Every structure is written in C-alpha cells, then in structure tokens.
Amino acid sequence: MRLRPEQLAARLGQDLPPVCLVSGDEPFQLEEAAASVREAAKAAGHTSREVFWAETGFDWPRLAGAADSLSLFAEKRLVELRLPSGKPGAEGGKVLAAWSENPPPDTLLLIIAGKLDKAQQNTKWFKAVDKAGVVVQVWPVEAAALPAWIARRMQARGMQPTPEAVALLAERVEGNLLAADQELEKLRLLTGGGPVDADQVAAAVSDSARYDVFGLVDAALAGDAARAARMLFGLRGEGVAANLVLWALTRELRALAAMSRALAAGQPQAAVFKAHRVWDKRKGPVQAALRRHPARRWQALLWQAGELERVVKGQAPGSPWEELLQLTLKIAGRPLFRAAG
C-alpha cells in the first residue's frame, strides 16, 4: 500500500504492517517517517531493535537469518534495514522479496532507502513489499507548497500564524526543512503558542547569521547602500561564508527579475507580489528596488551573480568579498564604478 507521508500516522494507528518502506532524497521527511514507524512499533510492544546497513559488500544472508531467528526472550522485534542507494541488487532483492512474501511473526521490517527510480519500483522485491505492507515515498517540499507545510506544522504546535508570518518563515528556510522545523520549535517555546505575527518571527531569528543575510538583502533593496555595506563587512568579520551571502543575493535577484518581467507584461502588482510571497513589511523595499531598475537590468545583475559564483568557488580570479560589495551596491543603485559616457 502506497501512502503519502501525512497519511502514515493514521495507517500505523490501525495495525502494524509486517513491512514498512520509506524512501526518498529529502532527509528530514525521510527520518520523520522512519521515526513514526519506530514509535508505533514501540507502542505495539516491539521492544527489541536490530539495525543493518546494506552498503557495498553487505552480507545479505545475515538479514535472511534475522527472519528465521527468534528473540531469546520471545520479544516482538523491529528489524531496521538502511539501504542508502535504494538498490539491494539481485541477492538483496531476493532476500527482501522472500521476507515480504513470508514475513516472520512478531517482527516488523523497516526499510529506509534512498530515492527509488522507476526501475526499482518495477522490481519483484519492491512489489512484494508494496503488497505485504506500506510504502511511503517522500519528496522535497516545493517552494509553492512550503507555506502550507509550515502553516500545518505551526498549527499542530498550537500556534495560529498570520499569513505574513508564514510567508517570512517560508522565505527564510526554503530548501531546509530541518531548519524550518527547528525554527518552529523555537517559536513555540518563545511565544507559548497562540497567535504569531511576522514581527515575532523576525525577532525570534534575529540572532542568527543566516537571517542577518536577509537583512543585508533588504537594505540593498531599499537603496540604503551605506547600511548594506556595513552589514556585508559585519558578516565577513563574523566569519559568515561568502557563498551564503551570494545565495541570498542570487535568490532575490532571481525573484526580482521574474517580478519585473511580469509587471512589464501588464500583470497587477498585487498578484505578482502574492505569487512571489512578498509579505507586507517587505513590499516597500521590493517596490523601491523594482522602480530602481528595469527587467533587463535585473537580468544582467543575475548574470553577474552567476559569474561571481565562479569567483566564490575559486574557479575564476578575484576577491569574493569585493565582488559581493560591488553586486550589493549595484542592487542598491550605488555602484562603486560607473560606465563612462
């Protein structure tokens, strides 16, 4: 039976399947799904846990032997198989198929695998697991779906966030669900639950260098070149990696280029801002930036950021921090050097 991650807890609450497979390449959701299975197994009396790592050279007969052996004290068991590659090979596939077709009593097999491609999903072992138990495949949360994901998890923690609070969190933790979950737990502890607005979110994360990077971006968008330069020098002095600063600037340039094109094509500003999750307190800086440069200029700055990435990686000559200063000041409309003529 194939389930979405959010369906797993309800299924485990009914009865424990003999085999559970969780797979995917998004580590936070993968581990969270596996933890749900472990907790359900423990609640059902599976007090014995044995873990196998199926890497190169793994002894598959050991796993087969675990199916045939009984616990010394007749305990219910959880057998956990880590399969990072998602490919057990011919020998492993036979063992997993045999286990699933004739699961041992009082034993739950939890398989934690990497992303499974179409070929693996068509194998005999995968189909046997799917038929005998539960299969959960996790996928990265896309940017468009992230606000809803955050809102659900905040509500589950007893918080009632405003749309602006959700948008701010989504902007700042995109691509890192572990960081998102940690920030949500921090907010729960700081606020005690209940209503949460964007100001509380900003205050909760203000002590993190990652979020100081977003302050730098907003200063540049607002055209406050002096403040942006001070923040950039401060980040450098604190040991923040140049690639983190470049990531934040590039991410914003990509959004500004897209918004500028949409506005030039006649789309309403309100719709464009909503599509790009521009929350209320950022509308002023973003509007100022969009007035400052036309679409072709944002595209040129985005191209410059791509070239700067090569400098940051050491693939091209130049000083990463000097180039970052140039890019930041250009975004603010105050370049150090202007073209002649």
Q: Which of the listed residues 113, 138, 163 is the one where a domain comes to its end?
A: 138
Q: What percent of the chain has pLDDT over 90?
A: 30
What token pair was written down for 164? 């602006």
Rounded to an integer, what distance in angstroms lies between the CA atom of residue 49 and that of residue 185? 29
Q: Which of the listed residues 138, 155, 182 is the one where a domain comes to its end?
A: 138
- Same-domain status, 229 and 312: yes
Q: Which of the listed residues 112, 138, 164 is the one where a domain comes to its end?
A: 138
> Dihedral of the CA atoms 287, 291, 295, 301 (nearest 10)?
-90
- Same-domain status, 28 and 114: yes
pTM of the entire predicted model: 0.58
Is the CB of residue 5 less than 8 Å from the CB of residue 37?
no
Q: Does the pLDDT value for residue 112 go beyond 70?
A: yes
Q: Is there a domain that residue 340 lies in?
A: no
User: Please, which residues bridge with residue 50 across strands?
Assistant: 79
- Same-domain status, 6 and 132: yes
187 lies in which domain range? 146-204
Rounded to an integer, what distance in angstroms lies between the CA atom of residue 153 and that of residue 167? 14
- Same-domain status, 230 and 327: yes
- Total number of domains constituting the chain: 3
- 308: CATH: 1.20.272.10
The per-residue pLDDT of the chain, averaged, comes to 85
Q: Is there a domain that residue 337 lies in?
A: no
> Dihedral of the CA atoms 53, 59, 63, 64 (nearest 10)?
160
Q: Does the pLDDT value for residue 337 go beyond 70?
A: no
